[in-house]
Amino acid sequence: MIKHRLFWPVVALVALLLGNRIVTPGFFSVEVKSGHLYGSLIDILLFGAPLILIALGMVTVIATGGIDLSVGATVAISGALACYIISDQANQGSVGGVLFAVALALVLSLALGLWNGMLVAWLGIQPIIATLILMVAGRGVAQLITSGKIITVNSPPYKLIGGGYWLGLPFAIIVVVVVAAITAVLVRRTALGLLIEAVGGNAEASRLVGIRSRSLIIMAYMFCALCSGIAGLMISSNIAAADGNNAGLWMELDAILAVVIGGTSLIGGRFSLAGTIIGALIIQTISTTIYTAGVPSYRVLVFKAVVVALVCLIQSPAFRAKVFRRRHKRPPPQPKAEVPASDSGDLEVSA
């Protein structure tokens, strides 16, 4: 069971939750207040919803062997555009107007994803560089849309997306569950997941066996941008405002961390949707822990740095090999003749 790749992420999440339970006795209680569910666990899900969405998009991109640094910028742009359109309408509360704004914001997000995907798949630019362009310019574009101001909206239908309730559950959680379910079905019940993993393993080889690797890569970036766009709508809807400068700031880093903590390698190839969701939940639980346990908020970053370092070190095979080597008795060394000669290439040449 220890060998299962979800083992360590789940252990980390359970440990974090139990630690919270010990510090804050009422941590696990979920109440029904005026028809809505309330509680710390619901809070983690609600505030973690945008991160889970972005991480889901990010993991598909990472599975193709890429990375998307522009998700934070996409979050800002999508929120900015939706709020700009709604604030411009005579009746901000009209459902049609909100749907129009949401649709336009999502179309723009898809276009941004298409841009990233084309740079990577057609021009063959390294993903980290290709998406860096949008990461740098995107916030400028978001501020261009909002004219550098924070646009506030007063629209009940828009508020539903990030801060509303439906059937007693926060609407954002429902959106995340739906997106995650659709993704899981598409990826695991069809051949799509296998094709994506093939492209991530070796794009050239998969092209040669007849997989349209370029279209798949572009689709992955578009999916990632769409998820970021939805997350951007949630974030701006929750605070009923669009802030081109700060919305989704450092979101790309949190999303990549969630993917890595979830056990997906940044190299591409095999990926885990469940692990990614657990990774995002771990990050959100850490943030919630910091606030409920009363750790001063200015220590958040140091705390996060330590957790990130620990998680990454424990996941690193090289670290485990070097640190835990002495604990286990290794089998007696093989006779020298049996050691394959090719192993010598991996040997460390020390200075």
Which parts of this chain interact with other proteins (CB under 8 A)? 67, 123-126, 128-130, 132-141, 143-144, 147-148, 203-204, 244, 253, 256-257, 260, 266, 298-306, 308-309, 312-313, 316-319, 322, 345, 348-351
Structure tokens at 87: 């604030």
Bridge pairing between strands 150-152 and 241-243: antiparallel
CA distances from 110 to 103, 106, 120, 208, 263 (A): 11, 6, 15, 28, 27
- 235 DSSP 8-state letter: H
Helices (H) and strands (E) in the chain, counts: 14, 6
- The distance of closest approach from Cβ of residue 166 to other proteins in the complex, given in angstroms and rounded to an integer, is 35
Nearer to other proteins, 160 or 308 (CB): 308
- The distance of closest approach from Cβ of residue 315 to other proteins in the complex, given in angstroms and rounded to an integer, is 9
Nearer to other proteins, 140 or 168 (CB): 140
What is the rounded CA–CA span in Å between residue 20 and residue 6? 21
- The distance of closest approach from Cβ of residue 25 to other proteins in the complex, given in angstroms and rounded to an integer, is 29
Nearest to 50 by CA among 232, 282, 257, 288: 232
Residue entry with tokens 């849309």: 145
Structure tokens at 206: 């998969």
What is the rounded CA–CA span in Å between residue 207 and residue 147? 44
- The distance of closest approach from Cβ of residue 43 to other proteins in the complex, given in angstroms and rounded to an integer, is 23
Nearer to other proteins, 173 or 257 (CB): 257
- The distance of closest approach from Cβ of residue 146 to other proteins in the complex, given in angstroms and rounded to an integer, is 10
- The distance of closest approach from Cβ of residue 72 to other proteins in the complex, given in angstroms and rounded to an integer, is 11
Nearer to other proteins, 18 or 208 (CB): 208
- What are the backbone angles phi and psi of residue 293, rounded to the nearest 5°? -80, 0
The amino acid at 290 = I
- The distance of closest approach from Cβ of residue 180 to other proteins in the complex, given in angstroms and rounded to an integer, is 24
Is 72 within 8 Å of 249 (Cβ atoms)? Answer: yes
Is 58 within 8 Å of 255 (Cβ atoms)? Answer: yes
Nearer to other proteins, 25 or 345 (CB): 345
What is the rounded CA–CA span in Å between residue 130 and residue 128? 6
- The distance of closest approach from Cβ of residue 122 to other proteins in the complex, given in angstroms and rounded to an integer, is 10
CA distances from 118 to 114, 125, 181, 285, 348 (A): 6, 9, 27, 36, 39
- The distance of closest approach from Cβ of residue 109 to other proteins in the complex, given in angstroms and rounded to an integer, is 17
**335 pairs with which residues across the strands?**
none
Nearer to other proteins, 160 or 253 (CB): 253
Is 157 within 8 Å of 247 (Cβ atoms)? Answer: no
C-alpha 56: how far from its chain's center? 5
Nearer to other proteins, 181 or 305 (CB): 305
Nearer to other proteins, 45 or 108 (CB): 108
Nearer to other proteins, 123 or 167 (CB): 123
